[in-house]
Structure 1
Amino acid sequence: MMTVINDQGVQDLAHRIRSLSPKRRRALMAVLEKQGVDLSVLDLVRDLFGSGAVPLSTRRPDEPVPLSFTQQRLWFLAQLDGAGSAYNIPMAVRLRGHLDRPALVGALREVVLRHEALRTRFVNRDGVPYQHIGDGTDFEVRQEDLADLAELPRICAQEAAAPFDLEHDTLIRARLLRRSDQEHVLLVTMHHGVSDGWSVGVLHRDLIALYEALRAGRPSPLEPLPLQYPEYANWQREWLDDGVREPQVAYWRERLAGVDPRLSLPTDRERPPVKTYNGAREAFLCPAELLDALREVGARNDATLYMTLFAAYSALLHRYTRQTDVAVGTVVANRGRAEFEGLIGFFANTLVLRTDLSGDPTFPELLAQVKRRALEAYEHQDVPFEAVVDALRLERSLSHSPVFQNMFVLQEAQTSQEAKLGDLEVLPVEVDVQATKFDVTLDLRETPDGLAGFVEYNTDLFDAETIRRFVRHYTHLLASVAAEPQERISRLTELPAAERRRVVEEWNEAPAGLVVEERCVHEWFEGVVAGAPDAVAVEFEGRALTYGELNARANRLARHLRELGVGRETLVALCLPRSEYIVVCVLAVLKAGGGYVPMDPAAPVERLEHVLRDSAPQVLLVDGTVPEGLDTAGVPVVDVRVDAGVWAGLSDADLDRVEGGSGPGDLAYVIYTSGSTGTPKGVMVEHRNVTRLFTATDGWYG
């Protein structure tokens, strides 16, 4: 029976297919054909997610080959930062069993001969970089004995950290370490300029096929490649010039308009003025039951596992930063044509997914948004990230990467067949990678044991314990999503029970035996006055006031303020230079029952006028003069030095609480923010907010 799909269904299907890896895409297309989907519909789907009309063509041998756009970016970074290891792709495996060493070495050489990308160097001709493809004769497999297995981690880390010279080195190197006749370790390191994550799988498959053929004395079973990476680089430029670039760039220009590349994660150290690549990794594993539950959450919301994990990651970044506009980088294979799938080379492209977490959405609402943004991004994935950055015209900084600082990756799981080399047992070796491209990269992979992953982080910004806590929070948030998949983001928890108990309960317990008295700030002060009236309280430029004198002056001024209408939670602005009068005035306002608003007389007059208008004080206290240009119309002005005689004859006894019973819950003061991110805003602080510092710090203030 023929299956009918409408036009919208065809487009949705094309977007969904395009979001898959090439391997899964082929499998899905085969299933659709078996299910009887109209072949004309299948052709339309192929057109929608295909690579465009520009044909692929071979190049002339004498024709200079430009770098692809991704290669060009890495070449530029190498010129800017010098040779480094941040863009190395290291691999290490232990081989257990009888190894045919000549066959393995021969297979590695055949892989290099098969793929021109692995024989490529980046040459500079008058400031313009080109690909130079060698003949492969300079590739060698270093073979040596491994005397002590305990040395392996150091050797792997050393190999991963060794930089490549893009102009003079072969951009792949290999070492074969012999532990015994039955155990070897193979190290292979490629530069990202000639490889990517998909290429690693191609290398594995080619190496297995060639090793088994050489060991058996058979010719290579691999079909000749229809083209090489240099053809892709030429085709990419021709294709983007064929009317493809501008519509895709226009989408990204609109989608990323106004994006803030700085995600304000709490760091352990300040960001250095020049970005570094010093890094480390923290590995983790989520159990298989949780992975199955997360797949189910995605399926119920018609979303992929990738979208589910990404939505949870965005929610965690929101919880950490309180930012509602979160931009995260991600990677796509970018191999939309069948001819590219068997090639080793740097095809992968970077996309930016921007998520809006305002309004406290439910997780299904967030997931729907992530799905929509991801499908749009896949539809516009062909334009190189470098062209997107150029189109945004962002102000570049040496301290951070453009557009985003956090990366999210979900790798395709390897099959058990890919973990075999003939009859050898192949065991992955963890490589201590000490370089990173971004502040934080979350790299995940589906495995039979569950969701395996690691967080790669910049060690100049974060300590290991900080990242371990970050990992715990992400895995616990995933568990919270699985348990309460319909909940709002604010209700999901990233804190494990023990950590939540420590933060919420233990850290908020009052010290044993502490009795918190509900008194106002000035009442605490009056208690000190009663105990030591003759002790010096304030000194300034040779002048001193005892506690008794300070209290008496504040009481007299407080009575005058009450005569001017100051009462419970009435605001009084203080525009005073630094002197003992500040302390007198603060205490007087509090004793009168009001709250004070500090104003720096040296601040710009525009800020002073904003504070004055916004707070609408009952009285403005100054010392000598009103700042030049400040409009005080409608606000009574009292000069605490010139007008002091007005209240000199009033009682200096402590005042009773104002009518209505002012207390610890009343305003003590209003402090205005800097206004660096917008209009300054007044923050209201109660008496109890201040007095708790005296009661909850176990005597810090004496």
Structure 2
Amino acid sequence: MSYNNLIEIIDLIQRAEAAGWKITYRNHELAVQVPKNKKAEPELLHKLKQEKERLIQYFEEHVSFEEKHANVPPIKRRESDEDLPLSYSQERLWFIDQFEGSVQYHIPAVFRIKGEVNRALIENALRNIIDRHEILRTIIAEKNGTGFQKILEKGHWNLLYTKLEQAQPNIDLSSYVQDRINSPFDLSADHMMRAELLAIAPDNHILIITFHHIAVDGWSVSLIVEEFRKYWEAFITGQPTNIKPPEIQYADYAVWQRNYFTGEVLDRKLSYWKEKLREVEILNLPFDFPRTDNYKIRGTSFRHRLPEALRNELHSLSVKHGATLFMTLLAAFKVLLFRYNNQEDISIGTPVANRTQPETEHLIGFFVNMIVLRSFLKPDVTFSDFLQQVKKTVLEGYEHQDVPYEKVVASLNSGQGAGRSPLIQTIFGLQNSSQQPELTLPDLDLYPEDYLSTVAQFDLDISITEHGNELVMHVQFNRDLFSSAKIAALCGHYETILGALTKDASQNIGDINLLNEREQDELLTRFQGADVDYPRGETIVTLFAEQVRL
């Protein structure tokens, strides 16, 4: 398969995944699964059928070595509940929680409910989900310095109900909700999902649901939303839910991961990352404020919409160069960072779903993995050529995405310096709006509420959402390092670079303009100075002498 054909197929698979579809290839059979709550887009379905042969060729040529030789053991139900290990990702968050707390790893979902509310139905639906998925009622017990999963009994989770005027009559609603989201979990005692129904008025409520990332990821939230809808509809109609009990649980995955990623298998899989990230440099970002040893996780966010015309031009640019939109956006962002600090070795993290095992598709848990995408930039290299480098790196990263990020960090001896996350401090991702879970329920007027996060996992986290015909940048940043003005300027410079590249991608990286017209005019005016009359008949020498006498 040619490189351009490979990119087209990967882009098609990513489109399907962004729409919530699952494409699998097992035992020489290609299958497309569309969840019941997702609409089957005729155009996408037709494209998949049209490209069936190339899809099969892709899976035949690019599945991992273990999949080709059927050496990856299936995930099976564990034999005992004694000393259940944490997954590698869970272990990392548990260590973070012990040393500095982990409110930055809270995942909130806030909804406004208008009209009459059946509190018992909401509680029963959520409790059924928690009883069904062990990970949501799993606590972490410590034994000789090692963390283990301990599963609580079913039926002990409760929905908190609060009347705002009785709890804190003078408090601002937004502040109250934010305080509830940021209230710490006790990982040794609490369920990993909590919910509070906040009564503002008899016909106006806020439902605040908070998960800990140690138990769920973005994919999991979508599954929870879908299960909540099914339970709610079943309660309303009196019909059975028809939700099959899970064959395995997250703890089974953790046992499998610990047994599989070890010894020769782990060494072989790590070899790529150890070579790719050898002597990697720490990314120097354009901070407004110095990083100190008393590093804090205070964060906020900023949104920036890119013009619709620019989005269309970026798609065309990506197709022309045989790249996906993500590759083009990532390459342009790395150019921006290079222009800011002249650093030639730039590494950025991007999250991947990491549900390569078919058994994990319907599981709730912390599966998402981080891969590090490293690039080398030179001012005299064209963007077109640099995009090819980024494309190659992204493809290789996807091929090796199943290696736990924690193992990559450990293999490189990349400790955490003063206030720094290991290896990466900047995250960049692209998602489609169809990936965002929607919750539409009969007999319940429920609307999502948007609350800005006040904590930050990383120095800079940029997520671009393709929403309809526009691209929306959502920037989460540490406000002890960046000012809001700096982030707004960064987004503006990024848009300028993207626009310049759609007009001419053959420019050298060092020549790409990042200032808009207003900034260029201000710069020229500032350094040009004001116009003044020059005395006729005088020279520089005589004028200087006159100034000395004064």
- 1:470-526 CA distance string (max 9 Å, x none): 2222233333333444443334333222122112x121122342769997xxx7999
Alignment of 1:302-451 (within 5 A): 302-394=322-414, 396-414=416-434, 418-422=438-442, 424-448=444-468, 450-451=470-471
- Please say which structure displays the higher CA radius of gyration: 1
Aligned pair count reads 522
Closer, same or farther: CA 410–181 of 1 in aligned 2, 3 Å: farther
Please point out which of 485, 495, 499 is paired with 2:519.
499
- The answer to whether the aligner puts 1:477 opposite 2:465 as a matched pair is no
**Among candidates 300, 309, 315, match of residue 295 of structure 1:** 315
Equivalence map 1:160-309=2 (5 Å) = 160-180=181-201, 182-241=203-262, 243-261=264-282, 263-309=283-329
- Map of 2:36 onto structure 1: none
How far is 1:25 from its partner?
Answer: 4.5
Change (3 A) 1:15 1:243: farther
Matched, 1:158 2:179: yes
In structure 1, C-alpha distance between the alignment counterparts of 2:259 and 2:429, rounded to whole Å:
29
Alpha-carbon distance, 1:399 to partner: 2.7
Q: Structure 1 residues 506, 227: CA separation in 2 closer, same or farther (over 3 Å shift)?
A: same
**CA drift at 1:427:** 2.9
- Of 157, 163, 173 in structure 2, the residue corresponding to residue 139 of structure 1 is 157
| Secondary structure of 1:414 counterpart | helix
Partner of 2:92: 73
Residue by residue over 1:590-622, the C-alpha shift from the partner in whole angstroms, topping out at 9 and shown as x without a partner, is xxxxxxxxxxxxxxxxxxxxxxxxxxxxxxxxx
**CA-atom RMSD, angstroms?**
3.4
Residue 331 (structure 1) shift: 0.7
Q: Is the 8 A contact 1:161 1:433 kept in 2?
A: no
Partners of 2:542 and 2:411 in 1: how far apart?
61
Q: Which amino acid aligns with 2:82?
A: E
- Cα distance in 1 for partners of 2:319, 2:4 equals 21
Q: Secondary structure at the match of 2:350?
A: strand
CA displacement, residues 147-185 of structure 1 (integer Å, 9 cap, x when unaligned): 599933212211222111211222211112234555432
TM superposition shift of 1:436:
0.7
Once residues 313 and 425 of structure 1 are traced to their aligned partners in structure 2, the CA distance between those partners, rounded to angstroms, is 40
Structure 1 residue 255: Cα displacement: 0.6
Counterpart of 2:509?
489
Does the alignment pair 1:124 with 2:142? Answer: yes
Shift of the alpha carbon at 1:205? 1.4
Residues 130 and 11 from structure 1, CA distance in 2 versus in 1: closer, same or farther, beyond 3 angstroms? farther
Does the 8 A contact of 1:15 with 1:375 survive in 2? Answer: no
Quick one: structure 1 residues 237 and 417, their matched pair in 2 at CA, closer, same or farther if it must change by over 3 Å?
A: closer
Q: What runs of 5+ residues in structure 2 fail to find an aligned partner?
A: 25-29, 33-44
* Secondary structure of the corresponding residue to residue 329 of structure 2: helix
Report the CA distance between 1:358 and its aligned residue.
Answer: 0.8
Query: How far is 1:79 from its partner?
Result: 2.1
Aligned position for 2:39 = none
Q: How many Å separate the matches in 2 of 1:529 and 1:289?
A: 57
Change (3 A) 1:415 1:94: farther
Give 3-state SS (helix, strand or coil) of 2:288's partner. coil
Structure 1 residue identity aligned to 2:296: T
CA contact (8 A) 1:13 1:45 kept: no
Q: In the alignment, what sits opposite 1:624?
A: none
Paired amino acid for 2:243? L
**Cα deviation 1:111-143 (Å, max 9, x = unaligned):** 111211111111101111001111243422112
Amino acid at match of 1:468: A
Structure 2 distance, partners of 1:351, 1:449, is 28
Q: Distance in 1 between matches of 2:220 and 2:23?
A: 18
> SS at the partner of 1:258?
coil
Whichever residue aligns with residue 184 of structure 2, its letter is: P
Report the 3-state secondary structure (helix = DSSP H, G, I; strand = E; otherwise coil) of the residue aligned with 1:194: coil
How do residues 540-619 of structure 1 correspond to structure 2 at under 5 angstroms? Answer: none
Structure 1 gap ranges (5+): 533-702
Does the CA contact (< 8 Å) of 1:100 and 1:215 recur in 2? Answer: no
In structure 1, distance between residues paired with 2:516 and 2:119: 50
Contact in 1 for aligned 2:293/2:418 (Cα 8 Å): yes
Q: CA deviation at 1:57?
A: 1.3
Deviations 1:209-267 (A, max 9, x none): 21111221122232221211001101112221263311221111111111111x22222
The one-letter amino acid paired with 2:226 is R
Q: In the TM superposition, what whole-angstrom CA distance separates every residue of 1:368-425 from its partner, at most 9, and x where no partner exists? A: 2111101101111111111111111235413312212211122342369824233545
Aligned to 1:89: 107
How far off its partner does 1:19 sit?
10
Amino acid paired to 2:330: F
- Select 2:529's aligned residue among 500, 507, 510: 510
**CA apart distance, 1:528:** 8.3
Q: Which amino acid letter does the alignment assign opposite residue 217 of structure 1? A: G
Matched residue SS, 2:489: helix
Pair 468,374 (structure 1): closer, same or farther in 2 beyond 3 Å: same
Q: Distance in 1 between matches of 2:257 and 2:8?
A: 26
Pick closer, same or farther for the CA change 1:361–1:421 going to 2, 3 Å: farther
- Aligned partner of 1:44 among 60, 67, 73: 60
Cα distance, 1:211–1:494 mapped onto 2, change above 3 Å: farther
Q: Distance in 1 between matches of 2:23 and 2:307?
A: 29
- What amino acid is aligned across from residue 326 of structure 1 in structure 2? I
Cα gap change, 1:19/1:377 in structure 2, threshold over 3 Å: closer, same or farther?
A: farther
* Farther-moved stretch of structure 1 (481-490 vs 128-137): 481-490
Equivalence for 1:26: 23
SS of the counterpart of 2:434?
coil
1:218 alignment partner, SS class: coil
Determine if contact 1:94/1:184 at 8 Å carries over to the other structure: yes
Say if 1:285 and 1:451, in contact at 8 Å, map to a contact too. Answer: yes
Q: Give the structure, 1 or 2, with the largest relative contact order (CA under 8 Å, sep 6 or more).
A: 2
The one-letter amino acid of 1:269's match is F
Given the two structures, how large is their TM-score scaled by the length of structure 2? 0.85
Structure 2 SS opposite 1:366: helix
CA distances 1:611-646 after superposition (whole Å, capped 9, x unpaired): xxxxxxxxxxxxxxxxxxxxxxxxxxxxxxxxxxxx
Is residue 101 of structure 1 aligned with residue 119 of structure 2?
Answer: yes
Residues 323, 416 of structure 1: alpha-carbon distance in 2 compared, 3 angstrom cutoff: closer
Contact 2:106 2:210 survives alignment (8 Å): yes
Cα separation, 1, equivalents of 2:437 and 2:413? 47
| SS in structure 1 at match of 2:409 | helix
Distance in 2, matches of 1:72 and 1:207, equals 29
